[in-house]
Structure 1
Amino acid sequence: MSIPFIDLQAQRKALGPLLDEAIKRVLERGDFIQGKEVQEFEEALSLFTGAVHSLTCGNGTDALTLVGMAEGLGAGDAVFVPAFTFVATAEAFSVLGATPYLIDVDPITFNLSVESLKQGIADSKLAGLKPKMVVAVDLFGQPANYNSIKDVSEEHGLILVADAAQAFGASLYGKRVGTLADYTTLSFFPAKPLGCYGDGGAILTDLDGKATLIRSLMQHGKGGEKYDNVNIGLNSRLDTIQAAILLEKLKVFEDELSSRNEIAKRYSKSLEEFAETPSLIEGAISNWAQYTIKLERRDEVQSKLKEVGVPTAVYYPKPLNQQNAYMHYPVVSSGVTVSEKLASQVLSLPMHAYMPEKTQQQIIEHVIDAITQ
């Protein structure tokens, strides 16, 4: 029996006719760029999250870069990012000439460490940098500790960005991801819990003026009309077919979130005696973009699971400070030892909303065998 890590085809079969009709409507109209489904999807995003402005764009990395552009980031500006994340979190700002300042994460939640952030702010000032922005990554679907992070960001005048590429649908104290920071950036990469059939992203914010500016920036710096360019911008738009697909997927997303949470509960109940299972902070609801355990013999266990046909993944085998392209960027003086250790411990198990309970039980049995043998 073949076990998929993320079964996009199971979702495709469940939604097939609806998706086919949605795509067909766009094909028949021919409004492939900025078609009506784009606006409809943006309105649906705002309704779902509570954000005032939902601005769709080409991908999640562009979403971060557009936020950096809207805030005028450049040389001498420090942007605090966790070392334990996908490279896009730092890449998006380094291309603007800003300095990604690498800080550590919490060993339990894997999200940004507030104490490390405080140290990084102090360090950056001593280094002659201007602390400008903190990007809290909602890793594996759990919101970061925004209450504490917001206190620090407000104290030091930092712009707070939620990199929620993995966390759409999650919440903290009853507030959806999308309303927890000054800006929230999303990715609709196909493997994400809400994914399209190509690239896609979005920026959520309640800041009216910045939303207007970002609208301009994502369309070549467009002003009042097509050939009136008032800003230097990008070409970053969500195409109409992808918006149509996302609209249909969003209609069943609440049910998929419930399924993901049930799957996560079964994993935790069965595996908590054998591995360190995920732990949520008080008030948090995860979307379980990944179900990730910690193991001391990670590589050995992963190898055994591969032998019996259970796919796994390691997010991420190298923290940013060990990536060749980012080694020259500053690291908080207290170090990123948690990030470095997690890179050798984390193992993500198959997770998607359409996983049969029987299949999950097979996975669990194989995982326990691999750990205990």
Structure 2
Amino acid sequence: MRVPFIDLEAQYQSLKGELDKAINDAVKGFNFIRGKEVSDFEAAFSRTMNLPHVVATGNGTDALFMALKVLGIGPGDEVITPAFSCIPSAEVITLCHATPVFADVHPETYTLDPERFEQHITPRTKAVITVHLFGQGAHVEEIRSLCDRHNLYLIEDCAQAHGTQVNGRPVGTFGHASAFSFYPTKNLGAYGDAGGFATTDTQLAEKARRLANHGALGKDDHLFEGFNSRMDTLQAAVLLVKLPHLAAWNTKRRTNAETYHSLLKSIPEITLPCQRPGTTHTFHIYAIRAQKRNELQNFLQDKGIQTLVHYPGALHNLPAYRHLSHAPDDFPVANRLSQELLSLPIYPEITEEQLRYVCTSIRDFYCRPQKNQ
């Protein structure tokens, strides 16, 4: 049996008629940049996420960079960010000519540990980026409280958390600004790069909209220098078709996660992902902590099961941040996660037969006779 990590073709086939029509209509409109579909998607996503202001961008990294820029982050500032995440949550800080300051993550949720975060606050700290990693709601209420106490900006990286909630509130609504990615493999994915900046602040929203369009709201209205990060019309058309299905897809992901839980919980060599109390996990990634992780991954590959490692290097261990002179054990949880986590297939279209095959294969790996050392 073959089990891909994600099956975008299966999702396309389930919506083929709607998607083909939306793409065809967008092409026939011949307004490929800033077409009506873009503003329609901004409004629809705003309603869905309970965020008053959404600015569609070229990708999620740009949206995160814009969040820092509109908040005035620049040279001399420090921004705290998790040591375990995808690199955009750190590199955008450097792109603003500020300094990324890593803090360790919580050993159960894998998101920024509020206690570790507070320990890294200095007089130069201006903001924190908290990442809702793998669809898990971060400890965002505690972090926002600390931000208010220390007069810091809170930026939410929601790239992997479309529809995740914390105590009934959608993520992205707790911070001063937030960023979303609509990369094709995300829970809500376009057919190319796309992203979104969001905020509850009208002035920040206008500044972000200008920033993404060379400093202008209209043609030749360049109030300041910006750059070019505009979601194209075709991507917005695709996202408009997919958005009404997001809640059902997230429910299916949670159901698939429950199946994994029930079938894998008795295997002592692995640790299953938790769901933090009071949160709604959307399981963009289902990552287990596995003994002999690399051997298990190779074994599953031989069985036709595709898995991925998120992430093989904690940020402080990457060559890009060697200049910060961190040792691996400076952030022990992040370091350990990079050595143990293995991401299993969990897309909405995966079948129960495929899920059971994955679980049986994992059990077979740990039950097989061990070679002599």
TM-score normalised over the length of structure 2: 0.96
Which amino acid in 2 is paired with 1:174?
Answer: G
Q: How many residues align?
A: 366
The residue that corresponds to 2:46 in the other structure is 46
SS in 1 for 2:284: coil
Q: 1:155 to 1:332 in 2, by over 3 A?
A: farther
Which amino acid in 1 is paired with 2:98?
Answer: A
The residue that corresponds to 2:185 in the other structure is 191
Give the alignment of 1:204-219 within 5 angstroms. 204-219=198-213
* Bigger mean CA offset, 239-248 vs 325-334: 325-334
Matched, 1:107 2:94: no
SS in 2 for 1:74: coil
Q: Calculate percent identity across the aligned residue pairs.
A: 36
The structural deviation recorded for 1:335 is 2.5
Tell me the distance in 2 between the aligned counterparts of 1:246 and 1:281.
29
The residue that corresponds to 1:169 in the other structure is 163
SS in 2 for 1:81: strand
Pick from 221, 232, 246 the counterpart of residue 253 of structure 1: 246
CA contact (8 A) 1:103 1:332 kept: no
The residue that corresponds to 1:341 in the other structure is 336
The residue that corresponds to 1:316 in the other structure is 311
Tell me the distance in 2 between the aligned counterparts of 1:91 and 1:372.
42
Tell me the distance in 2 between the aligned counterparts of 1:175 and 1:369.
41
SS in 2 for 1:252: helix
Q: Give runs of ≥4 in structure 1 deviating > 4 Å.
A: 330-334
Q: After superposition, give the CA deviation of every residue in 1:130-168 in whole Å (9 maximum; x if it has no partner).
A: 111100001100110111111111111111011010001
Matched, 1:372 2:367: yes
The residue that corresponds to 2:371 in the other structure is none
Matched, 1:75 2:68: no
Q: After superposition, give the CA deviation of every residue in 1:165-215 in whole Å (9 maximum; x if it has no partner).
A: 000111111111221222111000001110000000001110111001001
The structural deviation recorded for 1:329 is 3.0
CA contact (8 A) 1:183 1:205 kept: yes
Matched, 1:203 2:211: no
Tell me the distance in 1 between the aligned counterparts of 2:165 and 2:324.
32
The structural deviation recorded for 1:333 is 12
Give the alignment of 1:97-246 within 5 angstroms. 97-121=97-121, 124-125=122-123, 130-222=124-216, 225-246=218-239
Unaligned runs of 5+ residues in structure 2 are 369-373
Q: 1:312 to 1:333 in 2, by over 3 A?
A: closer
Matched, 1:350 2:345: yes
CA contact (8 A) 1:66 1:217 kept: yes
Which amino acid in 1 is paired with 2:346?
Answer: M
CA contact (8 A) 1:116 1:332 kept: no
CA contact (8 A) 1:116 1:334 kept: no
The residue that corresponds to 2:34 in the other structure is 34
The structural deviation recorded for 1:2 is 2.1
The residue that corresponds to 1:86 in the other structure is 86
CA contact (8 A) 1:119 1:332 kept: no
The structural deviation recorded for 1:371 is 2.6
The structural deviation recorded for 1:46 is 1.0
CA contact (8 A) 2:57 2:212 kept: yes
Tell me the distance in 1 between the aligned counterparts of 2:81 and 2:41.
29
The structural deviation recorded for 1:69 is 1.1
Q: After superposition, give the CA deviation of every residue in 1:63-88 in whole Å (9 maximum; x if it has no partner).
A: 01111110121111011000100111
Unaligned runs of 5+ residues in structure 1 are none
The structural deviation recorded for 1:325 is 1.2
SS in 2 for 1:193: coil
The residue that corresponds to 1:23 in the other structure is 23
The residue that corresponds to 2:357 in the other structure is 362
Which amino acid in 1 is paired with 2:128?
Answer: V
Tell me the distance in 1 between the aligned counterparts of 2:116 and 2:65.
24
The residue that corresponds to 2:277 in the other structure is 282
CA contact (8 A) 2:77 2:125 kept: yes
Q: After superposition, give the CA deviation of every residue in 1:79-127 in whole Å (9 maximum; x if it has no partner).
A: 1000100111111120110101011001111000111101111xx44xx
SS in 2 for 1:343: helix
The structural deviation recorded for 1:267 is 0.3
SS in 1 for 2:37: helix
Tell me the distance in 2 between the aligned counterparts of 1:155 and 1:219.
34
TM-score normalised over the length of structure 1: 0.96
Which amino acid in 2 is paired with 1:234?
Answer: F
